[in-house]
Structure 1
Amino acid sequence: MHAAHTSPVPARHRPVIEVDVVMRREPVQGPMAHWQPWRWVLADVLLRAEPDEAARLAPDEAHRPQAVEPIDAGAVADGSQHWLHPRFRVELFRDDAEGYFLNLSSPRPCFWVMWRAEGEALVGGEPLAVPLIVTLSYHDAGRWLDAQERVDQVAAPPEVVDWLRAFVDATYVPEPKRRQRPQSFRPLTDRFGQPVRVSTDKPRGGNGGH
């Protein structure tokens, strides 16, 4: 699913973790409830396997969703439902180090999850929300949003943030800033934006030509 990345590093050598995604079906509040009584949102991303363990696990297990009991008592009261989608691999690519750096530079580093309401499984007569990709890259999330995909985010736990920071510290090289052209080399223009010719010829005649 990471077709945009072109890093030649074999997958087994890339840093990877495994996570479970929890989606929540919750009632819509306010006037919108008249047209859309329920909505799907991202509830959580749970660390399932840390780097050393995740690298040894087979990556091809199907993401079979399962209904889980909500921890929040308020969610039980309002009829919200939680569905867990297991085993999403989150790999780090050297050619996207800037995307991870931008995530770490935000006030709250996070996971982004791209998901769609699709499939044959139905909840309350509606399609189940199905997560497709999980990423820690700011650039990935931006591309998905530009493509009009559904993207939600949730804060990453401290151990994931530390893992991501270690990768960024080892791989991210900021691009050198371009040297600004000195003001004296900028072309002169008039108030209409037209170039102005500056003559260096000395005026003829005495006293400034008078």
Structure 2
Amino acid sequence: MIQQPAVDEARPAVDEARPANRGPKAAAGNRAALVAAAREVYAADGLDAPLSRIARRAGVGQGVLYRHFPDRDDIAAAVLGENVRQVEQAAAAEGATLAGVLGVVTWHLTQSAAFIGFLHADGASGRFRAQVRARELSGRVERAVRGCLPEGHRLGAPDAPDDLMLAVAMVSGAVTGPTREERERRALAGWRLLGVTVGPVRPFEGR
């Protein structure tokens, strides 16, 4: 069972309300507020957090949420897609290295229970469509990281094709603790025990 990261004490409570809905002409703003709220709620509570909590956090009604995201999996994909894009961008950047990309992956692991959740088979709660999307996103992460594997790297052995994502899953299982710093410390200890070098743990910031 994957233990999700605890919320930092400095992080605002996920049920703290945003300003009230600004009306039907603010559709784009409402969508952005919902995605931002979902990111915060999912980061703290994982992908099974109640949608009502996301709507309340965004300051809109659940009807507004469903107009923008008819299915629970749609809003999860909108949130997680950005995490995955950062990993892909880090891998595609000039001079990208495996250590650097794993640093970005580890950053997202320490920031979000949701990012951990979709990397595991049980992260989609048994819903077929959610499982398919989770596999798609996980596959994108794997392709990005695998593309940076140096020739002969221990995680790229042709006779052990599952080792790379198994290592990521094993490290994500160690990402627990009440603060981001503690979660980072445990993640880096996990990589160290696996004999894998990881660069600075930080988000990807494109130039």
TM-score band, normalised by the shorter chain?
A: under 0.3
Query: Greater Rg, structure 1 or structure 2?
Result: 1
By percentage of residues, which structure has more strand?
A: 1
More helix by proportion, 1 or 2? 2
- TM-score between both structures, scaled by the size of structure 1: 0.24
TM-score (norm 2): 0.25
Which structure ranks higher in relative contact order (CA pairs < 8 Å, sequence separation ≥ 6)? 2
